[in-house]
Chain A
Amino acid sequence: MSFINKRAKQKIAFSFFSLVSFTVVAILFVILGFIIIRGISVINWGFITKMPEEGMTKGGILPAIVGTLCLIAGSMIFAFPVGVLSAIYINEYLKENWLKKFMRSMTNNLAGIPSIVFGLFGMALFVDKLKFGDSILAGSLTLGLLALPVIIRTTEEALKSVPNDLRVGSYALGATKLQTIRRVVFPIASPNIITGLILSISRVSGETAPILFTVAAYFLPKLPHSMFDQAMALPYHLYVLTTSGTNMEASRPMAYGTAFVLIFIVLVANLLANAFRRYFGKKNKMN
């Protein structure tokens, strides 16, 4: 009798677990479906190639798309080298001591800072103190700071996954530490490092708070000409269309269209990350 009870309990428990996990997946699909169904009606060639018109109720969102792409590129140009180099320093050069632990925990703390605080800091430092003004440069640097801990952590994980046998084998042949990193460690770690880069791109492209005070323009129907120009950006444009448009009812479909484009960019970045991992994972297979 107790045997049946145990089996029944097990069945109930697992049914519950599967219900919960399927709910999570379902929520994702509901969100995606919601955006797609509402947004797809405004998506057409004009929507992604035109300026906003008639109080942002007609036309397209081209400047916001371009702005977001500029911010992604700008933040990565800054954050990728800095993040990768500091991860190499922490993981390959520092010995296991208090300094390494300190650097690691500080990196983790940096990841925990709310993004609005980054925004405030970016405004104080880049916009005011360094006099970049509201600009793509200031916004990129602020977003870059936000992406740094993500890049450092994924790079560190990538470096840690390189077997130590290979480093030792390289040293034994007379290679210096730098040669070992460049010729053995980095090529093996690079697919995972690039995966980290792409994931941080998807993080950066969706952030609103850090660009709020540093770059984002409410309405700017022209494309930026230099990194000192202000720019529109997709997440902020979405916020504007939803909360403070001139005619909110009329701009609502435009908001869903914007959300659709934003999700599309993030989705493409994530798919790219997966493809990279698979492709290079096969190429550099360890046994």
Chain B
Amino acid sequence: MKDTDTIQINEKDTLTYNGLHKAEAKNVNLFYKDFHALKNINLVVKPNTVTALIGPSGCGKSTFLRLFNRMNDLIDGVKITGDVMLEGRNVYGKDIIVDELRKSVGMVFQKPNPFPKSIFENVAYGLRVNGFNHKDKMEDIVERSLIQAALWDEVKDKLKKSAYELSGGQQQRLCIARALAIEPSLILMDEPASALDPLSTSKIEELIYDLKDKYTIIIVTHNMQQAGRVSDYTAFFYLGELIEFDKTKTMFINPQNVKTQNYITGRFG
């Protein structure tokens, strides 16, 4: 586990962080103008696990995901109450600098969004904007990140080529490599395979499974089978509420709530 060295944790917070709760939401409410988008959410994410967020469109799962790197800040009119914790530290605390926080949380989006730069520069970007410019180490980190993202063999001979020459699936793995390069303590994935073909999707899923050894991942997905395949824990959201949260196996075999059961079995959503 490579947690504590990536973020500065002040003394008070260290006491409350016991290493078991990588990320946590405590009584979180989110309002978008008058709309109550997240209703009193409590959820704990354990280290080195994959947590899937499922639920019908508009249920708040993506909004919930974006709490952890404060991407909701980019939208006007959002108000948040409650505590969002990352390694025992309040993400919305007064001492937090948002850019610094985002450095320690990697994010992968629905549509691959590589920059119009070379493959190498895409992976190096996160380090460069954070003031890291050591040439040799940079090459090592880029290589390591691409290996971790299972893309190295396909691109090692064309690192200087534009990222746009890659296929959609390759671009998405490049975006994952880009997120890994900053050594995040948490990785957020917002439907990372929904714009990809089945073959690319299964590659991404294998990758998520492998990354679990080193990283903690929260993934939003529409796809029940995908949630079943990649995740250890599943959270079911419905109309802004967290209806059920449990081990994926337990939830898929024996859901406690009838809404969860209906959604999982495909009766709505």
Contact = CB atoms under 8 A, between A and B. Distances in A.
Most chain B Cβ neighbours within 10 Å, of A183, A187, A188, A286:
A183
A285 to B, nearest CB: 6
Contacts of B129: 170, 173-176, 179, 183
A184 interface: yes
Contacts of B99: 174-176
Interface string A79-119: 00000000000000001100000000000000000000000
A174 B103 contact: yes
Nearest to A183: B129
Contacts of B164: 285-287
B182 interface: yes
Contacts of B101: 174
Interface in A251-287: 284-287
B129 to A, nearest CB: 4
Contacts of B111: 165
A124 interface: no
A284 B165 CA distance: 11
Contact of A163 (B106, B107, B113): B113
Contacts, number: 69
A170 B115 contact: yes
A174 B97 CA distance: 10
Interface in A165-205: 165-166, 168-176, 179, 183-184, 187-188
Contacts of B107: 172
B71 A286 contact: no
A275 B127 CA distance: 35
B113 A173 contact: no
B109 A165 contact: yes
B54 interface: no
B125 A170 contact: yes
Nearest to A162: B116
Interface in B55-87: 69, 71, 74, 76
A269 B126 CA distance: 39
Contacts of A173: 102-103, 106, 125-126, 129, 178-179, 182
A174 B130 contact: yes
Interface in B172-219: 175, 178-179, 182
Interface residues of A, number: 23
B113 A168 contact: yes
Contacts of A285: 116, 164
Nearest to B103: A174
A166 B103 contact: no
Given A95-B76, A169-B109, A172-B71, A184 B126 contact: no
A95 B75 CA distance: 10
Given A174-B103, A175-B99, A179-B129, A168 B182 contact: no
A43 to B, nearest CB: 44
B100 interface: yes
A169 B76 contact: no
Contacts of A188: 116
B172 to A, nearest CB: 12
A166 B76 contact: no
Contacts of A163: 113
B87 to A, nearest CB: 16
B182 A169 contact: no
Contacts of B175: 169
B115 A169 contact: yes
A188 B164 CA distance: 13
5 contacts: A172-B105, A173-B182, A174-B100, A187-B116, A284-B116
Given A173-B103, A174-B100, 10 more contacts: A165-B111, A165-B113, A166-B116, A168-B74, A171-B74, A172-B69, A172-B107, A173-B106, A174-B130, A175-B99
Closest 9 CB pairs of A and B: A174-B103, A173-B126, A165-B113, A175-B129, A172-B107, A174-B102, A169-B113, A179-B129, A284-B116
Interface of B: 69, 71, 74, 76, 99-103, 105-107, 109, 111, 113-116, 125-126, 128-130, 164, 175, 178-179, 182
